[in-house]
Homo-oligomer: A and B are copies of this chain.
Amino acid sequence: MNNNSCGPSRIAGCQFTLFPMSEKFVDIILGAIEEVDTSKVWKDTDDVSTCVRGRMGHVFDVTKAIFLHAAKTGEHVAMSGTFSIGCPGDTEADSYMDESDQLLNEEKSQAISQQAGCKFSLYPMGREDYMDAIYEQIDLSKHRGVEVSHAHYATRLDGDVKDIFEAMHQSFDSVQEKVSHVTMTFTISANSPSNQS
């Protein structure tokens, strides 16, 4: 496999699961999905996770919006997932790459104010100097409103959910400009009772 096999389309994707820590988890998940416009991404859901794929901006727009609409219920909700771009052999759903730039969920997302804690890790694939690629491309200090700290195997971000996703989006985008295949794992948690003392 070489970088050329990825093609010019640069389709991005996110495989994620939403976890409401509540008996009402089904209603919270379905309610969040109902409020989010997913028409600009390819989408597939099973009992373990949901996968959305398309242009990077829409993939982040949809993932962030689903978490925000679930978290605004006030219940303790978390989301874990993996963003991916340039995965070799991944050409399905290419038709979604023709969608326009306009983000379908940005206006509703901007109206929601929600604090959260998040841990994320970036994995540039197929590069011997992958650690340098991470250090060179990421400057989290410029993200106002997000508190950055180091965790084992991860970087921790605390702040508003929109700022957290913005910081992850920019980090992911910077690295994928230099490295063909990049994955980024994250776990974000809101309304945790252990954080409300």
Please report A residues at the B interface, Cβ cutoff 8 Å: 1, 13, 15, 17, 19-23, 25-26, 44, 46-49, 51, 53, 76, 78, 80, 82, 84, 87-88, 90, 117-119, 121, 123, 125-132, 151-154, 156, 183, 185, 187-189, 192-195
Contact = CB atoms under 8 A, between A and B. Distances in A.
A15 B154 contact: yes
Contact of A15 (B19, B84, B119, B188): B119
Oligomeric state, in number of copies? Answer: 2
A131 B84 contact: no
Contact of A22 (B23, B26, B51): B23
B117 A126 contact: no
A151 B88 CA distance: 14
A132 B80 CA distance: 27
Contacts of A51: 151-153
Contacts of A192: 47-48
B153 A84 contact: yes
Nearest to A192: B47
Contact of A21 (B19, B125, B132): B19
Given A15-B119, A49-B187, A51-B153, 18 more contacts: A1-B131, A1-B132, A15-B152, A17-B189, A21-B21, A22-B22, A25-B76, A26-B193, A44-B152, A46-B151, A47-B192, A47-B195, A48-B118, A48-B192, A53-B152, A87-B153, A90-B153, A153-B183
